[in-house]
Amino acid sequence: MELRALGSTGLRISPLGLGTVKFGRNRGVKYPRPFELPSDREALTLLELAWDLGMNLLDTAPAYGESEERLGRLLRWCRRDWVIVTKVGEEFHDGESRFDFSAAATRASVERSLRRLGVDTLDAVLIHSSGDDLHILEREEVLPVLLDLQRAGWVRAVGMSTKTVAGGLRALECCDVVMLTYNLSEREEWPVIQAARAAGRGVLIKKGLRSGHLDRRAGIDPIQASMELIFAEPGVSSVLVGTLNPAHLRANVVVAAEVLNL
């Protein structure tokens, strides 16, 4: 897959990225069917397939259970020039999420992600929103700390995984990257995509395939329709897809390549 710019960060990423929540967490998730966490061999096979299909982007987070820790271990066996996006602000313990946007928690989270992933610099760190985007960006300590760590060379790009249009627009004013929801059923954040393109910011799409809840009754291929909708927007940098099924991953890449005329 042809790599594209992630805004003005200097990072170049594949149009499809691999979301890794399923590598580390199967509780408190909203997928249509329950699933078992993959073995290391199964996860490694998926990583190698993703790379062979032209994907270089991985998305993880402390809130994804064991995902970061497992990725760090697995990538020792699958050393490639991956671009890894992780997050700060949310943790998942004992079946529930907890949020902490303090300076101490932010710094500790970044330090832990560096150790877990086995890297010297994190490519991108996003604030994992609890839903109150504007309050987090304007009143909490997390953003100033991330910007300090970026200046210190610990982080290449700073952004936010938002939940509101207002939050997305505000994030574009102070961050390099925004991750937002955009799919066939949820298009409210379209103005953020447009504003990001005008501002030269990176846009990562989450839930582009509705976390597996696509409507297949309309007589159309919902994956193709989803990809056509998303990639019609020049402001989109990449779409994160999360799967443990190699056949699904191959199919997603084939459809994306067709839509993008690759």
Q: Write out the catalytic residue numbers.
A: 64
Chain centroid to CA 226:
17
Q: Other C-beta atoms within 10 Å of 107: how many?
A: 18
Residue 225, CA atoms < 13 Å, CB-side half-sphere: 13
**Alpha carbons 246 and 224: distance in angstroms, whole number:** 18
| Residue 197, helix vs strand vs coil | helix
Q: Other C-beta atoms within 10 Å of 52: how many?
A: 11
Under 8 Å between Cβ of 75 and 81: no
Report how far apart the first and last C-alpha atoms of the chain are (Å, whole number).
7
Under 8 Å between Cβ of 202 and 178: yes
Per the DSSP assignment, residues forming a β-bridge with 241 are 18
Residue 244, CA atoms < 13 Å, CB-side half-sphere: 19
User: Tokens 């560096």 identify what position?
Assistant: 114
Under 8 Å between Cβ of 26 and 36: yes
Task: Report which residue type is found at 23.
Answer: F
